[in-house]
Amino acid sequence: MAYLAGQPVLILKEGTSRSRGRDAQRSNMAAAKIIAELVKSTLGPRGMDKMLVDTLGDVTVTNDGAAILDEIEVQNPAAKMMVEVAKAQDKEVGDGTTTAVVLAGELLRRAEELLQDQIHATTIVAGYKSAADKALEILNQVAVPVDLNDKETLNKAALTSMRSKIIEGAREHLAKISIDAVDLVKEKRGDVFTADVDNIQLVKKQGKSVLDTQLVKGVIVDKEVVHPRMPKMVKSPNIALLDAALEIEKTEMSAEIRITDPTKMKMFLDQETQMMKKMVDKIKTSGTNVVLCQKGIDDMVQHFLAKEGIMAVRRIKQSDMEKLARATGGRVVTDLDDLKAEDLGHAGLAEERKFGEDKMVFIEGCKDPKAVGILIRAGLERLVDEAERGLKDSLHVVADLVKKNRLVAGGGAIEAELAKRLKEYAAKVGGREQLAIEAFAESLEFIPKTLAENAGLDPIDIMVTLRSSHEKPDGLWMGIDVFTGKPVNMMKSGVIEPTVVKEQAIKSAVEAASMILRIDDVIAAAKPPPTPMPKGGPEGMPPEM
């Protein structure tokens, strides 16, 4: 509301709330810090789990930062930005979500102290930007190159990503599956390799144990064979991938056919049957013995296919059809008239298998599959979900190393080294920006400090020892062993992470912190009034007497 010649002038809609200046900054930072505090206790091998119960009563037990923030319903706009940090981290590199959120929260906490010392927000943002650029430069200088054929190193990186998960006992088994799966789907584009994790299909089935999780060199179709008389197993199948309905399509226009002779009625019905028979003849002529169809298959077509001994599956998801084409080397055909022998895909086996009450078709034993499937097993539904989350992290970490084959040590080692070097850099910069760079360095140290706290160790003692070990000539990769409480060489201990995970965590955290810091005015629109309930209760029903 503004005042002009003593008359109030309404600028904003009635009911709109507004907070300005330091109050706006303080409330935004508080919300962001609460989100960081929420996931902080899940960081590291000794991190705790969260139990999340949604509005329907479904329970999720996890310590995966991305899963936690995806499940909770956040209302505050600044808190939503922190959730976006986790989503961006998860989408880009698939790991390090908790690190990114915790780092962003600590950057804001340090910024709040600087604001109280009368340092302007834009100066802090400039200092953070300068520190982030220097940190990324140092990160690439110290990162160690890795040979993609070195399965042992890849295995260590995969194991590190699952170290804090509930399924820790099956880490070795899942890590091997992750490495084999990524190795099969990786492709060379120009001079560089790339691996798209979307080409790895994850299918969950409750039952047995996590150690029964298996890699399928092909694709798992979560459907059953359409006709009971069709073969349930076909060796060395010739597979037709169809994106066309195997049924007589109804005309779009309304049409009326008048038949006066009963024999002509029979001819009309026989003609429809003949058309379906021709469809099956075309399929048989091409040499097909397994039909995988994205659309429907008519009952009569099913009968003729079963008669010819052809296995058929219908209504397969488009994403699975694309994976089937990549795995079998076949081509998805949209017109049955175009189906030729060279369009067919090939595999070692096509078989329907039963899991409890469910049936699934396995297309496996493909010669050079560029898409593979992983069947995830576990005794509990919650454990199946957590195994999937752990496997996703592991797959992404291996794929990250394929895209950029450089790694750094985990366990807080790289953060402690970056903090040490950034403090030296800050002294050279000088001025008020120096304070922001030092705050950034201290925020990085918060990661090893949190690892120590979550392990029940004294964070002050740990940080003193860790800083001291990084001053030594061979202290570059010294991190915290949360089980003994002593600094150890993390590179030698096999606790390693892809460089891109740390790069993305720093970038995401700085961007989020900078955006929240620069906000000095929050204008929230008035919420609409709740909709009144109709007379007679919900759905207009009469009230109970």
pLDDT per residue as tens digits for the range 430-483: 888 999 999 999 999 999 999 999 999 999 999 999 999 999 988 899 999 998
Q: Which two tokens stand for residue 47?
A: 């991190």
8 A C-beta contact, residue 454 and residue 43: yes
Which residues have a catalytic role annotated? 64, 97-98, 393
Q: Where does the pLDDT of residue 288 fall: very low under 50, low under 70, confident under 90, or very high at 90 and above?
A: very high
Between CA 199 and CA 498 the distance in angstroms is 21
For 102, the enclosing helix (H) or strand (E) is: helix 97-116
CB atoms within 10 A of CB 471: 9
Q: Where does the pLDDT of residue 364 fall: very low under 50, low under 70, confident under 90, or very high at 90 and above?
A: very high
For residues 245-271, one letter each, b for 16 or more C-beta atoms within 10 angstroms of the residue's C-beta and e for the rest, the string is: bbbeeeeeeeeeeeeeeeeeeeeeeee
For 60, the enclosing helix (H) or strand (E) is: strand 59-62
Bigger pLDDT: 346 vs 540: 346
Bigger pLDDT: 357 vs 231: 231
Q: Which two tokens stand for residue 395?
A: 């797959």
What backbone torsions phi and psi does residue 242 show, to the nearest 5 degrees?
Answer: -115, 130
pLDDT confidence of residue 545: 42
Q: For residue 181, what are the contacts with CB-CB under 8 A and spacing of at least 6?
A: 200, 215, 372, 374, 395
Between CA 522 and CA 23 the distance in angstroms is 9
What backbone torsions phi and psi does residue 65 show, to the nearest 5 degrees?
Answer: -55, -45
Q: Where does the pLDDT of residue 9 fall: very low under 50, low under 70, confident under 90, or very high at 90 and above?
A: low
Question: How many H helices and E strands in the chain?
Answer: 16, 25
From 389, 368, 448, select the one nearest 67 (Cα to Cα): 389
pTM for this one?
0.84
Q: Where does the pLDDT of residue 1 fall: very low under 50, low under 70, confident under 90, or very high at 90 and above?
A: very low
pLDDT confidence of residue 258: 73
Could you read off the pLDDT of 291-327 as tens digits, one per residue? 999 999 999 999 999 999 999 999 999 999 999 999 9
Between CA 432 and CA 208 the distance in angstroms is 60
Q: Among 18-22, 62-66, 135-139, which is the least confidently predicted range? A: 18-22
pLDDT at 344 exceeding the cut of 80: yes
Percent of the residues in the chain that have a pLDDT greater than 70, as a whole number: 90
Bigger pLDDT: 337 vs 313: 313
What is the SS3 assignment for 260? coil
Bigger pLDDT: 251 vs 239: 239
pLDDT confidence of residue 15: 61
Bigger pLDDT: 29 vs 263: 29
CA distances from 119 to 104, 184, 442 (A): 19, 53, 17
pLDDT confidence of residue 270: 74
Between CA 251 and CA 249 the distance in angstroms is 6
Average pLDDT over residues 174-186: 94
From 197, 152, 178, select the one nearest 390 (Cα to Cα): 178
CA atoms within 13 A on the CB side of 270: 6
Q: For residue 252, what are the contacts with CB-CB under 8 A and spacing of at least 6?
A: none
Average pLDDT over residues 53-62: 87
pLDDT confidence of residue 252: 57
Could you read off the pLDDT of 496-508 as tens digits, one per residue? 999 999 999 999 9
Q: Among 34-48, 56-70, 118-132, 228-242, which is the least confidently predicted range? A: 56-70
Q: Where does the pLDDT of residue 531 fall: very low under 50, low under 70, confident under 90, or very high at 90 and above?
A: low
Please, is 17 exposed, middle or buried when counting C-beta atoms within 10 Å of its C-beta (0-12, 13-18, 19+)?
Answer: exposed
pLDDT at 250 exceeding the cut of 80: no
From 372, 432, 14, 75, select the one nearest 195 (Cα to Cα): 372
pLDDT confidence of residue 314: 94
Between CA 234 and CA 402 the distance in angstroms is 35
CA distances from 339 to 127, 183, 243, 318 (A): 63, 32, 11, 19
pLDDT at 256 exceeding the cut of 90: no
Per the prediction, the chain carries an average pLDDT of: 88
Please, is 46 exposed, middle or buried when counting C-beta atoms within 10 Å of its C-beta (0-12, 13-18, 19+)?
Answer: middle
pLDDT at 251 exceeding the cut of 60: no
pLDDT at 267 exceeding the cut of 80: no
∠ Cα 218 222 227 (to 5°): 105
- Segment of 42-46, 54-58, 141-145 carrying the highest mean pLDDT: 141-145
